[in-house]
Structure 1
Amino acid sequence: MSFPELKLGDWTQKVRGNLVPNQLLSEITWFRVGGPAQLFFQPADEEDLAFFLKNLPEDIRVTTIGLGSNLLIRDGGLDGVVIRLSARGFGNVEVLDRHRLRVGTALPDARVATAAANAGIDGLTFYSGIPGGIGGALYMNAGCYGTETRDRVVELRAVTRQGEIVNLTNGDMGYLYRKSNGPRGAVFTSAVYQGVPGEPEAIKAAMKEITERREATQPIRSKTGGSTFKNPDGHSSWRLIDDAGLRGFKVGDAQMSELHCNFMLNTDAASAHDLETLGETVRNKVRAKSGIELRWEIRRMGHFPPGREVREFLDGDVFTGAV
């Protein structure tokens, strides 16, 4: 399917970044599924992004996506504008005084961990174990192995939906477990992290250990979106899934990993519908087995094609947008 062209006016001629109508989002998500973006925008830099958002009519939906790792875009695609920041415009790293690091939000998390290690800054090794980019990490308070984004980020820079460039503090983000409550619609462009002094070789050794642990326990070389469900209080999602007999469970070419059963995989040619149906089937069966309702960690967004809707727990409400 495709969307009708957005008629935005002559002001778009002053935009320096790339504007692409009906860009297939399956090409940039780790699951390799998803329909088109009505208009796909990669700004040249922060000023270009601010100009675009300031001039874009308020009634046009704007969705920002990062590297596409923790994201399931439905087969009907996304209307409005989809913004993705490029490494060229938003991939900088700057070492600051007092063991701080300023990074652009298009950088992969692992690149930030490496940059910190090279500078002798400890405390960011956990990012070497998280797929995806810094923009997504800031949005969802990404973390692993006992450390979360909120533990290290001290300030952020963003462009609001109205095109205003703003500076934010950690407190402005209202961080919770795998969630933030910052300014609605803001696009994060950079962040400053506070680390602690460390020896580069010792930090790199710790990062290597994290990487080896991930490779041994997670299907990181598959078409996956990382952890599918958040851990309920006092429980591990993978154990609840395993106890329900769902390790390796499949819907079409969508499968819960044999290696780590809280990871969904696109084993070949799964659709977004297959993957979301698999997830809701797992939620249904886990609830029936344990009484516990798993909550999605993977962000799902976009439109269902007609007749291909997926209901919560397979029998509840139809999702209509990002969750």
Structure 2
Amino acid sequence: MTGEPVVTGIGVVGAWGDSPAGGRAAVALPDTPAEPGWFDTAARLGRRGFKYLPPACRYLLAAGRAAVADADGLAWVAPERRAGAIGTNTAVRASLAEADAAVTEGRVADLGPAAAPFFAVSAVGTRLSIEHGLKGFTLTLTSPVIAGIEALHLGRRAMTAHGCAALLVAATEDVPGARAGQGAAVLVLEDRAGTGCRGAPAAYGSCRSRVLFLPPRLLAMAEGRARAVRLVGRALAELDRERAFPIHQVVDGSPVAAVIAEAVGDTAAVTPRSGALAPMLVVAGLLAGGRPGVVVAGTGEGTVALVRVCPAGAPRVRGEETG
């Protein structure tokens, strides 16, 4: 890879609607149940081959199609130079619970062949890879809340190491009772400098990230907490030395969140009720709206991620997302 990857496609699908701006707004709203039947599988994906997939997998496929179409397709790059990185916390939770109940209750015969592969969370990303011919590599990340940003972070690094020219980065969740937690967000990244002029749409912008782990047990000690604050502050400085970008926190009420607030400032924060999808919805909303920012996500488990969103300019499309 010879240049900074740029985002050329955005696809968002959710119970709140299919707008990146709507997804970003939904993250900050109180939990409300999704409208029953909001996702019509047959209308969005087709009548055959999708009915028995876990909901999060269906959301991912629909958002992936939207993102790839927004980027004017992937035909310009050979399949072996396409790749994917998917983050999720809950994509197969219901499938695992169903399989566990069937085994413990003696109903093994009830486990159908269509659902059986989803004992492995990586099967969710495999369906996306098959549909778009992602033969370079496919990564699946499951770190609490930051899995989507971690997919962006590690995906970009793997993209460099493996010479891939196009990367689909995604987060998908199925959180019962959380309207903002039922959906998916997909970004298409490409190495524009390495592929030459292909008549592609103008880029939304670029993203750079840092991923940290702060051992929660160390935060109980003054020395450990001070070191954690310095680590987060250093990561922020690497992304935005002048502190010129607005900061968007996606954090819980844990000691880790308190460390983040001390390091980056007491800025507005939202609670990550929607798992790994929440930070990615904020990133997608900023990119689509042409707004710069640094998204900082963290949880009590100690997982912390920062991503700098640097738009290329005014919104490429979707003019309603400038607000």
User: What is the TM-score of this pair, normalised by structure 2?
Assistant: 0.30
User: What is the TM-score of this pair, normalised by structure 1?
Assistant: 0.30
